[in-house]
Copies of this chain bind each other. A is one copy, B any other.
Amino acid sequence: MTRFRLTIEYDGRPFMGWQRQAHGPSVQGAIEAAAVRVTGEAVALHAAGRTDSGVHAEAMTAHCDIARPITAFRLMEALNALLRPDPVAILACEEVADDWHARFSCIRRRYVYRIANRRAPLALAAGRAWQVAAPLDAAAMHDAAQALVGRHDFTTFRSAHCQADSPLRTLERLDVVRHGAEIAVHAEARSFLHHQVRSMVGCLMLVGRGKWTAADLAAARDARNRDALGLNAPPDGLYFVGADYPA
């Protein structure tokens, strides 16, 4: 068996999410189906993160084991040929050691959440950003966000369906940056809880609108209660942008 590391770009809109589903299209299912056609063997993908329906990836990392002799380049080309016209592309493929694991070896996940802060509906970025018509104070959002950086109990910002054993996470970065009408929220951590980024962004939006103060956000964090959540942002604006591994 040879272990291959894949870097994957996808548009999350037509999928029920990353994870293979019995009843509906998934990114994992699409790539695994292509891999079966390439290799003639059952192939299981393991990913750094499992994105929800409608969430996108600029560079998801996954791995799989393949018995049939094949080069990384040939595997990438064959998968890309078979994945058309699904909006999934293998950006890179390389052989890795047998003990390298896309999920368990990962030391940092990086997300970007894109907000289109404008009154007009989105024509070019429909389904690919969160349109917020009310003017947002991105500097206030950034300042308030710093209360979430560090090691905290993120129960407030965790889906009721989250399967993690502990609500404790160490958020390494939560930066809010405006470029014209686009606001990008950059989030980095070793791992995230289910819906954590979208829940943090939803509350930051309330800060940006002036409906919440920075103290309100810190109080929501300290409540450690899902009922204290202000708002869960829609999946449209969320992008998995990278997974980091030890050198």
Contact = CB atoms under 8 A, between A and B. Distances in A.
A83 interface: yes
Interface stretch (A120-128, A194-202, A209-217): A120-128
Contact of A124 (B9, B83, B84, B118): B9
A65 interface: no
A15 to B, nearest CB: 11
A42 to B, nearest CB: 24
For this chain, the copies found in one complex come to 2
Contacts of A90: 120
A80 interface: yes
A18 interface: no
The 9 lowest CB-CB distance pairs between A and B, nearest first, are: A89-B123, A9-B123, A89-B120, A87-B123, A89-B121, A91-B120, A10-B123, A80-B121, A88-B123
A123 B121 CA distance: 23
Contact of A11 (B11, B83, B84, B126): B126
A182 interface: no
A158 interface: no
Nearest to A86: B123
A185 to B, nearest CB: 18
In the complex, which of the residues A10, A56, A87, A90 has the most CB atoms of chain B within 10 Å of its own CB atom?
A87
B9 A120 contact: yes
A58 interface: yes
B9 A84 contact: no
A83 B123 CA distance: 10
Interface string A122-144: 11101010000000000000000
